[in-house]
Amino acid sequence: MFFAVIAVDKPGMLETRLKVRPDHRAYGDREDLPALKVIGVPLTEDDGETMNGTLLILDAPDRAAAEAYLAGDPYVKAGLFARTTIVAVHNAFVDIRDHLITNTG
C-alpha cells in the first residue's frame, strides 16, 4: 500500500533543515525500516528553491508502518515540521512507480 506524506516546516527552520538533511536522506535510503521511500522531494516556496517542507511517497503494509517510518525520520526527531498529513494513495500509483523505475538511469 502507498501513502503520501506532506510535511510543512515550522517557520524559521531552514537552518535546521539544511543541517539535518544528510541524515534525513541517509535514513530514506535504508531498506530495514517499517516502510520504504519510493519518492522523496523537498517542497519549496514559490521561488522553487527555498525548501519549506517534504513530500514523500512510502510503500508500507499499513498506516501504522508509515507512521513508524516517520517517527524515526531525523527531520521529525529534530522537530522540523509544523504539520504532517498522511494519506493513502490508490494502487494505480504502481503504474507511475513502474514508469519511473523503467525510465531512470
Fill in the amino acid letter for 103. N
Selecting from 3.40.462.10, 3.30.70.1060, 2.60.120.380, 3.60.20.10, what CATH number does the domain 2-102 have?
A: 3.30.70.1060
Q: Which residues pair with 51 in a beta bridge?
A: 44
Domain range list for the chain: 2-102
Nine-digit cell at 83? 504539520
Question: Where in the chain does DSSP place strands (E)?
Answer: 2-9, 36-44, 51-59, 81-89
pTM: 0.87
Q: Tell me the pLDDT of the chain (105 aa) as tens digits.
A: 999 999 999 999 999 999 999 999 999 999 999 999 999 999 999 999 999 999 999 999 999 999 999 999 999 999 999 999 999 998 877 767 666 766 665
